[in-house]
Amino acid sequence: MGLDEQLQAERDRRTADEAVRLAYEEVFTTLSTNGFLPSVLPEEATFPDFVLPDTEGRLVSLASRLARGPVLVQFFRGEWCPFCRLMLDALVGALPEIEAAGASLMALTPDIGPWAREAKRNHGAMFDVLSDVDCGVGLAAGVVFRIPPIYRARLMRAGIDFADRHDNGAEFLPIPAVFLLDADGRVAWRFVNVDFTRRAAPERILSALRRLTAPERE
């Protein structure tokens, strides 16, 4: 079963609960009607440079990965999110092909310290998992939103404490955006969706990457 099918099954299972469905819809409706998407960094724009801690506390820079070639920057909400867990597993499976195409993968989450380490460990991720401290990079890229009240209350009832996970009380989350950057740091392709139950399947990411890295024909 591919990622799209797995996401659909998870979406169907969770939204069978009316309270969950309404909480999800609050997020989608809020972001769809408040002018959120036009603020997301567009294609051809230069992605903001960054230096972020990895799961072991080492600082990793975007520039160091761009020196090797194209970079995929994937924003995800955290290991607490079932849709993120499915996405991370899919990226782990696609990593050999991503690296074969000459690209690096950097996964950014607002979770810090042990929470980010949990995500990397649970999925056996061999790519960079970085803590986007205070959502700084996500804000610069335009992919971060303040959690709406109904959805926030639903997550709190589920025991998800963002003040602990993010080490701040801002209650921001990123949409699950993906940016493919060329070696100069410009956005060659992107996937953005206010519906966090929908993600870019590996085949879409790989197709964009291969278009970027394909040799030019005369």
Inter-residue contact 190 to 43 (CB < 8 Å): yes
Inter-residue contact 37 to 31 (CB < 8 Å): yes
Please report where in the chains the tokens 């291969």 appear, as a residue: 210
Rounded to two decimals, the pTM is 0.95
Q: What residues make up the domain containing 137?
A: 3-213
Query: Is 218 part of a structural domain of the chain?
Result: no
Query: Is 24 part of a structural domain of the chain?
Result: yes
Query: Is 11 part of a structural domain of the chain?
Result: yes
What's the total number of domains in the chain? 1
Inter-residue contact 37 to 192 (CB < 8 Å): yes
Question: Residue 124, exposed/middle/buried by CB under 10 A (0-12, 13-18, 19+)?
Answer: exposed
Q: What is the CATH number of the domain that holds 109?
A: 3.40.30.10
User: Tens place of pLDDT for every residue, the chain, 218 residues?
Assistant: 899 999 999 999 999 999 999 999 999 999 999 889 999 999 999 999 999 999 999 999 999 999 999 999 999 999 999 999 999 999 999 999 999 999 999 999 999 999 999 999 999 999 999 999 999 999 999 999 999 999 999 999 999 999 999 999 889 999 999 999 999 999 999 999 999 999 999 999 999 999 999 875 44
Q: Give φ, ψ of 204 to 5 degrees.
A: -70, -40
